[in-house]
């Protein structure tokens, strides 16, 4: 029975990864479903909105107003 | 030992970066739309990286000077991302977009080399590095569709 702790460790590792795998599939589905009904221009506008949010937060966090 | 908490953001970024290019292969949408989707994926993954980094800094896993350097580099990535979107919008498949892709790649590489790789906490550095590399993958997708 000396392999039991190792088996428990492996099972625990698999158990911890399962929600991540399920989450991966769910996130990808949401991305594709959300993008399918939009035009390229609408998708690019969303990308711009994300960049502007990143830029605003970066200025705030770094203390750089430029 | 503190754990790097923002797993949801990391998971989302890795999901879109690793799986979305495969999905695009089967997509019947136009080349322009495929590039736009990849550009949006790039922006989303960088935003997820930033949220993860801010959380890690709040948890004390990233020092103030490291945090400021990363955020300054992120500002440059955001500007390059906006320029890339503009290039895609105006040039679409024209070669002018290549220059914007190269500029975005350079900004991402600076974020990695001058920011993330200087983070002293090994766990935080490893997680943030994975997120940056996943974002970089979208630029490869954009470049591949254009060429």
For tokens 């490869």, the residue is B140
Chain B closest CA to A18's CA: distance in Å? Answer: 12
CB contact under 8 A, A43 and B37: yes
| Residues in A touching B46 (Cβ below 8 Å) | 50-51, 54
- For residue A65 the two structure tokens come to 């107003």
- The mean pLDDT of B106-112, rounded to a whole number, is 95
pLDDT tens digits for range A34-54: 666 788 899 899 999 999 999
- Among chain A residues, the shortest Cα distance to B64 is held by A62
- The mean pLDDT of B29-34, rounded to a whole number, is 77
Q: A40 or B4: whose pLDDT is higher?
A: A40
Q: Each residue of B110-132: b (16+ CB within 10 Å) or e?
A: ebbeebbeebebeebbebbebbb
| pLDDT number for residue B62 | 93
Q: Quick check: ipTM above 0.90? A: no
pLDDT tens digits for range B51-92: 889 988 998 999 999 999 999 999 999 999 999 999 888 865
Q: In which band, very low, low, confident or very high, does the pLDDT at B142 lie, cut at 50, 70 and 90?
A: confident
| pLDDT number for residue A29 | 65
d(CA A13, CA B11): 17
- Among chain A residues, the shortest Cα distance to B28 is held by A36
CB contact under 8 A, A44 and B33: no
Q: In which band, very low, low, confident or very high, does the pLDDT at B30 lie, cut at 50, 70 and 90?
A: confident
Q: Is B79 on the interface with A (CB under 8 A)?
A: yes
Asked if the model's pLDDT at residue B27 lies above 90, the reply is: no
* Cβ pair B73, B107 in contact under 8 A: yes
CB contact under 8 A, A43 and B40: yes
């Amino acid at each position: 029975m000396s392999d039991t702790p190792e088996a428990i460790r492996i099972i625990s590792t698999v158990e911890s990864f399962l929600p991540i795998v399920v989450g991966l599939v769910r996130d990808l589905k949401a991305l594709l479903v959300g993008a399918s009904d939009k035009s390229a221009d609408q998708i690019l506008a969303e990308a711009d909105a994300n960049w502007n949010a990143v830029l605003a937060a970066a200025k705030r966090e770094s203390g750089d107003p430029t | 030992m503190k754990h790097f908490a923002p797993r949801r953001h990391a998971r989302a970024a890795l999901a879109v970066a690793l799986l979305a290019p495969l999905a695009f292969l089967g997509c019947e949408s136009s080349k322009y739309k495929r590039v736009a989707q990849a550009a949006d994926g790039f922006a989303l993954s960088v935003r997820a990286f930033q949220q993860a980094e801010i959380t890690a800094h709040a948890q004390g896993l990233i020092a103030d000077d490291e945090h400021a350097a990363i955020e300054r580099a992120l500002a440059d990535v955001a500007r390059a991302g906006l320029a890339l979107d503009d290039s895609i919008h105006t040039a679409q498949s024209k070669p002018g977009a290549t220059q914007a892709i190269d500029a975005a790649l350079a900004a991402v590489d600076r974020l990695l080399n001058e920011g993330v790789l200087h983070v002293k906490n090994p766990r935080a550095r490893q997680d943030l590095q994975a997120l940056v590399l996943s974002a970089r993958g979208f630029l490869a997708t954009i470049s591949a569709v254009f060429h």
